[in-house]
Amino acid sequence: MAIEKTYTMIKPDGVRNGHIGEIVNRFERAGLTIERMELTNVTEQQARSNYAEHEGKPFYDGLISYILSGPVVKMVVSGEGAVKKVRTLMGATNPADAAPGTIRGDFGLVMDENVIHGSDSPESAEREIGVFFG
């Protein structure tokens, strides 16, 4: 596997509930490198750009409101097979389906507030890094 970069974001519920340190620790223990990290609020433009594929779906407005509801930790993470590795560490999108030991399995409570976002492909990672870090 090649060294790649991916984008990940600890969402407002993960920040609010104090999971930043544990999540970063899990990435580092998995052999990933945090290249950039920033605690910030997402702008509406960034939110709409990042979730454009969901526009028009019933949950879209709630998703945008949620991601704007508080600070997030945005990160560029790198390592061998970083996209797949981060997705594995995150667990299933729905915390109810996420295995214990995954970020969502351990910290997620409901589908609408599932702690963390991660790029689903190297192409998405490149686009999302551009959206959030310019």
Residues of the chain with pLDDT under 50: none
Q: What CA–CA distances, in Å, run from 133 to 27, 41, 44, 51, 75?
A: 20, 12, 15, 16, 9
Q: What is the pLDDT of residue 1?
A: 65
pTM of the complete model beyond 0.85: yes
Of these residues, 74, 86, 117, 118, which one is catalytic? 117
d(CA 55, CA 70): 21
Is 19 one of the catalytic residues? no
